[in-house]
Structure 1
Amino acid sequence: MENEVEIVLVEDNQNDVELTLRALKKNKISNNVVVLGDGEQALDYLYGRAEFEARNATSNPRLILLDLKLPKMDGLEVLKVIKSDPDKKMIPVVMLTSSKEESDVVKSYSLGVNSYIVKPVDFDNFVEAIRNIGFYWLLMNECAFKKD
């Protein structure tokens, strides 16, 4: 479907995955969410490699929710690849992490992250943060590319 929302969630903590999916569902923005568990898998998905070779790699997701601390390849490395690629750099990337370290925030923005959000501990606050992310990036923000 042309109006189908596609969110790529890159998160290795299963509790955070479930929490994010519940928050997306509660906010009615849970259509077509792809969950990936590490940075390497995220790039394989985006570029249609390995287990995702059948995927059309020219069809970009509408939004990437990216954790900072990931196995195999961390979120900053993934962000650097995405934002240095002319075909992928327009995808909005929201760093959704538990890190409040100023150096992580600065490095993320210097690499081109669109937003840096520290995961709230309280579920209601987390749901509200996800609602705001979804509302802005999926409804209000004008997309620079058309979805195939």
Structure 2
Amino acid sequence: MIRLVHGLANNNQQSFSDFYDTYAPRLWGIILLAKLPTAQSETILINTLKKAWQQVNQQILPVKPTFVSLLSLAYREGLPREFVKASLPPNPTAMPSSANRYPLDKTVQVLIAGCSLDDQALFTQSLKASMPRVEITFSSGIDQALVHLRTSFLNSTNLPRLLLLTLSESDTQIDWQLLHQIKTSYRLLPIVLIGTEQQAAMAPKAYDLGITSFLVKPPDLDEWKEELALLSKYWLTIASLPNQQRN
């Protein structure tokens, strides 16, 4: 199996070897817990690493992707969802207070730009499942997101600690100047850009401007719900979001 996996490296053997050594053992351990047939388990591992490596090379994923993103890919390849969920930290309400990233009475502001009404409902459900006291603001697009950030700063209200920027399916470009302006004015603000597989070609330029990650939105609704659950758990229960200060 190792020879098969390393065969994916093509001409970049050393880099892929490092990638494999970093992620394969932990992912393989989770896959084994599912007690699937050996051939199926190996297929899940190989296909997951293959797609992750391709997305790293295409700069859809960062050079050191989060393990959450690999679990998401493994789920698409057939890893049962209960083993994906079991590999994530529990909800904050079930964790000791010392392990919470934020106190249970702490409010975290999240700004979401450009998503449809249907996705607004899904975002709200997923984010509040991970942190009930999250405050979500929706804006129509990146221009209104910048207006909201400026208004929050001028009014001395709490700035958002996470920006989720979604692309509509018809978008072939985004306003790179506005994105650059947000990143230079609010340099600590994590930005997750969300688009279709066809829009993933924008990822390299977006990373160059300083976005935190690019998430490919799956066409299947159930898969999209799982992606949002993973996204919410990562940003609200695993990552430590910085307090925003404008330059």
User: Cα distance 1:124–1:63, how it changes in 2: closer, same or farther (>3 A)?
Assistant: same
Structure 1 residue 146, shift from structure 2 partner: 6.4
Q: Give, in whole Å, the separation in 2 of the partners of 1:79 and 1:137.
A: 20
Find runs of 4+ consecutive structure 1 residues off by over 6 angstroms. Answer: none
Q: How does 1:30-69 map to 2 (within 5 A)?
A: 31-48=134-151, 55-56=155-156, 59-69=158-168
* Cα drift, residue 75 of structure 1: 5.5
1:1-148 matches, cutoff 5 A: 3-25=106-128, 27-29=129-131, 31-48=134-151, 55-56=155-156, 59-69=158-168, 74=174, 76-85=176-185, 88-145=186-243
The unaligned stretches of length 5 or more in structure 1 are none
Gaps of 5+ in 2: 1-103
1:35 & 1:83 partners in 2: Cα distance?
Answer: 19
Q: 1:34: how far off?
A: 0.3
Q: Please provide the CA RMSD for this pair.
A: 3.1
- State the AA in 1 paired with 2:110: I
TM-score w.r.t. the length of structure 2 is 0.48
**Number of matched residues?**
139
Structure 1 range deviating more: 74-83 or 34-43: 74-83
Letter aligned with residue 42 of structure 1: A
Query: Which protein has greater RCO, CA pairs closer than 8 Å, 6+ apart?
Result: 1
Which is strand-richer, 1 or 2? 1
TM-score under structure 1 length normalisation: 0.75
Structure richer in helix, relative to its length:
2
Q: Could you tell me the percent identity over the aligned residues?
A: 24
